[in-house]
Amino acid sequence: MRIRLLQDVSAYWNYALSEYKRGEELIGDLARHLADNAPPDSVEVIDAAPESQTVETPAGGQSGPDGGASREDTEVGDVPPTEGTIEDLMTWVGDDAGRAALALQAEQAKEKPRSTVVKRLGALTE
């Protein structure tokens, strides 16, 4: 699933209260969670199956003109290997902050995210 936030949203995700900004696009389990639980008219479902579209990744965490995160397109086949080893995932990320943010989002969307991966990816996105 892929969604776009139409307003700022706060939600509990992976045992923590997280803030998401208007204009941000999210994928996977987190997107489904927000689509199902966010206030009415705060989420636009872009695609129920993200495999058929492109996925957008954060571009260095900078804000766009509308206050939402600035994004750059990544082809769908270019998704983080979160089911592989930590080393495979970190090799895929390299030193790209956009890929690190996408990998962090995908890792946190898992039922049991790996804390070491979350810490390493978090450091790359800051």
Domain spans in the chain, listed from the N-terminal domain onward: 2-125
- Cα(93)–Cα(2) distance, rounded to whole angstroms? 21
Q: Structure tokens of 85?
A: 């080893």
pLDDT at res. 49: 66
Are 80 and 106 contacting, i.e. CB atoms less than 8 angstroms apart?
yes
Give per-residue pLDDT as tens, 28-52. 888 888 888 888 889 998 887 644 3
User: Which sign, positive or negative, has the C-alpha torsion 99, 100, 102, 107?
Assistant: positive
The H or E element containing residue 36 is helix 28-37
3 or 70, higher pLDDT: 3
Taking the whole predicted model, whether its pTM rises above 0.85 is answered as no
Q: What is the mean pLDDT of residues 5-16?
A: 86
Q: What is the mean pLDDT of residues 10-27?
A: 86
Give per-residue pLDDT as tens, 57-83. 444 444 344 444 434 444 444 678 878
pLDDT at res. 76: 40
Q: What is the mean pLDDT of residues 5-19?
A: 86
Looking from the CA of 117 toward its CB, the CA atoms found within 13 Å total: 28
